[in-house]
Amino acid sequence: MRIYLLGAAPVVVLAMLAACGETATPEKGNAAAAASEYERGPHGGRMLRSGPFALEITIFEDGVDPELRVYAYRDDKPVKPTEVALAIELGRLGGRIDRFSFTRQHDFLRGSGVVAEPHSFDVRVTASEGGRNHKWAYQSYEGRTVIAPEAAKAGGVKVEAAGPATVSDLIDMGGRIEITPEGKADVRARLPGLIMSLNGKLGQQVRRGQVLARVESSHSLQIYTVPAPISGTIVEKNVNVGDTTGDRALFVIADPTKLHAEFFVYPRDAERVRVGQPVSLKSVSGEARFQAEVEAVLPTADVASQTMLAHVHLPPVASREFRPGMGVEGSFAVSQANVPLAVRTKAIQRFRDFEVVFAKVGNTYEVRMLEIGRRTPEWTEVLGGLAPGEIYVIDGAFLIRADIEKSGASHDH
């Protein structure tokens, strides 16, 4: 498979300007149309002409990293590579310039290094043959577009600089929200007797010490009061006036602000889940989210499922969104590492066969093909393809991709 440089000005223009010793640089608006207009050579590459002399430039990547391969012609007949001196500069968005010298190999000139992705650059070519010097320049863009600031703002485009981050190794588990043992209490009569009155109703909020019942003792026939042992909400009412007390609780009170999430940890993960580890919680619907940490891992396993129970503490404020009995999903950060370069996972898009982000320089946006390491819902480690400090799109990347696809700034194979 070969990839060829795109975006040339029409061949006639290149030939005329090159013959006059000038540089051919097409206007931006002509780039998409020019991509289909430039002359192709016998190897499918771009032809650059200067009088009777011509070069055919290709990027070859069949079983090798992308490399420049250039074929020379005079009067449309092959010229030996030993008769040509060649240099090519690829100017990247942001100011970086990749320079390539060439060595003779078989019937072509081979570039000295890898042509890194994206294959998007301003190309400058200088060649010498037969005592004559030749120069060409053209644009070869892919995955690049220009968007005005007003349009980017209206499209919700936001950017930030790529840099270090803490990336976690995550284990995802399902669980449920429960009231903690300390947040639940039975209201019981101290002595057996007849219930004379009840002051509590199902769903009623009560405070600690509030009288909920009066009972006539079967032994002394004296009436004593039954107070609430904790503050909370009455979630169970098991007796009525006229009933006699027994082993059952008169009421059950629960404090809905004292919550934890219970997760069943399978044996394969049991050795990795530890007290103090951070956990990202979200409801099954995905609407409620909260950050918490593991408060306890019970040491005994369930006989039937062989799972252990992990408790994740929730502060009182979490009760606004998480309710007892709700299902919950948790991502346990079982290990963490500080990495020198990461991007926000939500910024990553698909472009051709790559995972990419869109770098921003001025009002210009361009793909950056990423070599990816560890990934979490928030951060993804970057091993290559993006420079530290480079500005990239974190929100609105879909708008950038759509604009690039519409412009036709694609990779030509």
Q: Which CATH number does the domain housing residue 398 bear?
A: 2.40.30.170
CATH number at residue 246: 2.40.50.100
- If asked whether residues 363 and 404 sit together in one domain, one would say yes
pLDDT more than 90, % of the chain: 72
DSSP state for residue 244 in the 8-state scheme: B
Assigned token pair, 366: 């361009």
With vertex at residue 127, the alpha carbon angle to CA 123 and CA 129, rounded to the nearest 5 degrees, is 160
Q: Above 90 in pLDDT, residue 303?
A: no
Q: Above 80 in pLDDT, residue 12?
A: no
Q: How much is the pTM?
A: 0.66
Report the chain's mean pLDDT, rounded to a whole number.
Answer: 88
- If asked whether residues 166 and 312 sit together in one domain, one would say yes
Q: Judge residue 98's burial from the number of C-beta atoms within 10 Å of its C-beta, 0-12 exposed, 13-18 middle, 19 or more buried.
A: middle
- If asked whether residues 402 and 285 sit together in one domain, one would say yes
Please tell me the distance from the alpha carbon of residue 180 to that of residue 212, in angstroms, as a whole number. 23
Mean pLDDT of 90-103: 96
- If asked whether residues 121 and 19 sit together in one domain, one would say yes
In 218-326, beta strands by DSSP E: 223-227, 232-237, 251-254, 259-265, 278-283, 289-301, 308-314
What is the distance of C-alpha 14 from the center of its chain? Answer: 43
- If asked whether residues 134 and 148 sit together in one domain, one would say no
Neighbours of 277 (CB within 10 A): 20
Rg (Cα) of the chain, in Å, rounded? 36
Mean pLDDT of 73-96: 96
Mean pLDDT of 359-368: 96
Is 410 or 62 the better-scoring residue by pLDDT? 62
Given 222, 254, 286, the domain boundary residue is 254
- Look at the chain and report how many structural domains it folds into: 3
Assigned token pair, 158: 């936001």
- If asked whether residues 312 and 192 sit together in one domain, one would say no
- If asked whether residues 129 and 267 sit together in one domain, one would say no
- If asked whether residues 52 and 201 sit together in one domain, one would say no
- If asked whether residues 31 and 110 sit together in one domain, one would say yes
Is 305 or 130 the better-scoring residue by pLDDT? 130
- If asked whether residues 117 and 158 sit together in one domain, one would say no
Given 112, 141, 170, the domain boundary residue is 141
**What is the pLDDT confidence band of residue 355, given thresholds at 50, 70 and 90?**
very high
Report CA dihedral (237, 240, 244, 245) to the nearest 10 degrees.
Answer: 20
* Length reported for the chain: 413
- If asked whether residues 205 and 283 sit together in one domain, one would say no
CA of 69: how far to CAs of 7, 56, 331, in Å?
Answer: 18, 8, 49
Cα-flanking dihedrals φ and ψ of residue 404, to 5°? -65, -45
CATH number at residue 135: 2.60.40.3340
Assigned token pair, 297: 């891992």
Q: Above 90 in pLDDT, residue 10?
A: no
**What is the pLDDT confidence band of residue 408, given thresholds at 50, 70 and 90?**
low
Can you give the pLDDT at residue 238?
95
Residue 232 pairs with which residues in a beta bridge?
A: 206
Given 254, 279, 313, the domain boundary residue is 254
Please tell me the distance from the alpha carbon of residue 126 to that of residue 136, in angstroms, as a whole number. 7
Of 17-21, 148-152, 158-162, the poorest mean pLDDT is in: 17-21
Can you give the pLDDT at residue 378?
87
- If asked whether residues 133 and 224 sit together in one domain, one would say no
Report CA dihedral (280, 285, 288, 290) to the nearest 10 degrees.
Answer: -10
Mean pLDDT of 213-239: 96
- Residue numbers of the domain that contains 123: 2-141
